[in-house]
Amino acid sequence: MKKLGYMLLLSSLTLVLSACGDDTSKSSLNPSSGLGSLDSGLSVDPNNSNSNPNESGSSGGKISSSEQPPIDYTIGWSQDVLDVMEPHLGGHAIPFIDLPGRVLATWIEASSGYSSSTVAHLSILSTGAFDAALAGQAKLTYQKAGWTVDFNRETLQMHAEETKLGMKVDFYGEYDQNDGSTTPQIDVYYNEPFAVPASGAWRSATVQALASIGVAAPHMLPYTYLGTLAEETVSISTTELDIQGKVGGWDTYNAKILAAARKAFAPSKKWAESTATVTLSSGYYSTYSYTGHSFTKNFADGYTVTAVLYGRSVSGYSSDPKTPYLRVILSQQ
């Protein structure tokens, strides 16, 4: 019996070896067997001992450094600071500086006098201490963000520029003679370059203002560039408002602004162009009229949206540079 059992065991081993064969090039996971879903989809050359399925470029492999999203160096500012910063910097924010203490942002309007003058700029200050570590970190941040940086090692003052955005930043310590302390101070100067965005959108504040006069979906006003990414709104009545563009930009860029408007309010989108007059009242007896380009669209539910593009000075004086405005009117039949 022992000999018979031994012979049966040898026969079984022979059958197993015959079934497997000696062809090692065949895969044990044949897609036709129903196990093909286990295949990772990677293509590895069996003749290349250096093949690595985790190399960049292989399906399911690592993401190459060129595909990594760029670092946003502006993250960190509080919402209170951004609410002042972005509207005055064309919708942009400057690279973040981790200022100690309480941080306050204020927009300083331009002014002139007999002895001195002030250029419009954003002022950011804090109640914390200004030191070499803070100044050095700010310098490093702006260099990494791609700004052109000049740094004075003795005074710890930094001057940084981003020409594409039209921004200049001065960061320094402000000395207080009363208590002998030095606190951080940031001055931001902005000259927004004229650049029509490929796919722009109204600011959220503008969308809310349009909705307040009834101009919202399905009667939403298409976005059109008025020389700035930080347009402002001026309420005229419950059904009218002005969207103000770049201050003083009409005289220089009116042809380009008009071209952008004609693209936004195209006839193919059922907007009709004509000329129109916008009248403004100043006091009880004074009125001023401005001729502009009117774009009108009639909707099936009886509503009509009219947008009149025109230029006028912010001050009201005809001798001052003109600013682009878009008068938006909602009417109903």
Q: What is the pLDDT of residues 8-30, one digit of tens each?
A: 444 444 444 344 444 433 333 33
Spatial contact of 248 and 322, defined as CB atoms under 8 Å apart: yes
Q: Coil, strand or helix: which one is 204?
A: helix
The mean of the pLDDT values for the chain is: 82
**How far is the C-alpha of 148 from the C-alpha of 143, rounded, in Å?**
7
Would the pLDDT of 49 be above 60?
Answer: no
Q: How many CA atoms lie within 13 A of 70 on its CB side?
A: 6
Mean pLDDT of 207-218: 96
pLDDT at 310: 97
Q: What's the 3-state SS for 54-82?
A: CCCCCCCCCCCHHHCCCCCCCCCCCHHHH
| Better pLDDT: 3 or 296 | 296
| Better pLDDT: 319 or 214 | 214
Q: Coil, strand or helix: which one is 14?
A: helix
Spatial contact of 193 and 165, defined as CB atoms under 8 Å apart: yes
Would the pLDDT of 4 be above 60?
Answer: no
Local structure of residue 228 (DSSP, 8 states): -
Residue 258: other Cβ atoms inside 10 A: 17
Q: What is the dihedral of CA 128, 129, 133, 136, to 10 degrees?
A: 80
